[in-house]
Amino acid sequence: MSKLISKVACIGGGVIGGGWIARFLLNGIDVAVHDPS
């Protein structure tokens, strides 16, 4: 049984985190971001 991912949380919005965030958003996935710095 497979489930579709509809929401993700990303800790860190730097270069690498920003890349993942962009990828998720372009694929229609809701993203919550926390960048502690």
Tokens in use for 23?
Answer: 């990828």
Every domain of the chain and the residues it spans: 1-37
Query: Residue range 11-37: average pLDDT?
Result: 96
3-state helix, strand, coil in the chain (%, to 5): 30, 25, 40
At residue 23, the pLDDT reads 97
At residue 26, the pLDDT reads 98
Query: Residue range 6-35: average pLDDT?
Result: 97
Looking at the DSSP assignment, which residues form a beta bridge with residue 4? none
